[in-house]
Amino acid sequence: MSEITLKLDSRTIAGKKVTNLRKNGIVPSVVYGKAEARNTQAGLVEITKAVHTAGKHTPITLEIDGKKKLAIIKSVDVEPVRHRIRHVAFHTINQNEAIVTEVPIRLVGQGESAAEKAGLIVLQALEHTEIKAKPGDLPEALELSVENLATADDKLTLGDIKLPKGVEFADHELDLELVVANVYEPSALQAQNEAAAGDAEDAAPADDTAVADEAPAEEE
């Protein structure tokens, strides 16, 4: 796992005044931990790069006033229109203590399986799962090869994933038969999609106007 670093400065501005920070390309943030929460800030470019690289599962080394702290991203607030980051919350972690976090499941070898070469379609059904590990052992993703998929109705489950050393599923009662990827005949997949579309139409309100009329008026 490659190290991601981000320099944060202490922040004294709070409340509505943080709007001026954002206008000047500064993103307010907060760092939670065992000690009291600390208000911080960083440049929009720097914090955006760190957030996009780390996601919510990769530890980040925060440098605050010359001191380094290991943390993960707790939440990210993004502007709905311009999609710029408005605020980030971090949570400090201990290098020697296992943490629970969600990681993506990555299918490898797509396009190379016997099933796909025969014209069948491999679709991923589960894209994330929670694992438990020390920060230094956290993988960027759990990899699962599709190379042994050969016929329609073949599937891959959580139990097919080979967990890296020091990593375990967070839920010990997790069903390892949970399907991660399925193989479909193109015609069967099309029929399934058409059936799903039909069900969605049947479930839609018959009279949108009537539904809207039932909504309470907003108070000004």
- Residue 151 to residue 179: CA distance in whole angstroms: 16
CATH no., domain 99-201: 2.170.120.20
Give the pLDDT of the chain (220 residues) as one tens digit per residue: 568 999 999 999 998 899 999 999 999 999 999 888 999 999 999 999 999 999 888 899 999 988 999 999 999 999 999 999 999 999 999 999 999 999 999 999 999 999 999 999 999 999 999 999 999 899 989 999 999 999 998 999 999 999 999 999 999 899 999 999 999 998 777 767 766 666 666 665 655 544 344 443 333 3
| Domain ranges (residues) in the chain | 5-92, 99-201
The first and second tokens of residue 209, run together, are 């106007």
Residue whose C-alpha is closest to residue 179's, from 154, 150, 148, 149: 154
Strand 26-32 vs strand 155-157: parallel, antiparallel, or unpaired?
unpaired
- Residue 113 to residue 42: CA distance in whole angstroms: 45
Query: What SS3 state is found at 128?
Result: strand
- Residue 166 to residue 164: CA distance in whole angstroms: 6
In degrees rounded to 5, what are phi and psi of residue 132? -130, 130
Fold classification of 5-92 (topology level): Ribosomal Protein L25; Chain P (2.40.240)
Buried b vs exposed e over 137-173: b needs ≥16 C-beta within 10 Å?
ebbeebebbbeebeebebebbbeebeeeeebebeeee
Burial class, 215, CB count within 10 angstroms (exposed 0-12 / middle 13-18 / buried 19+): exposed
| pTM tops 0.85, yes or no | no
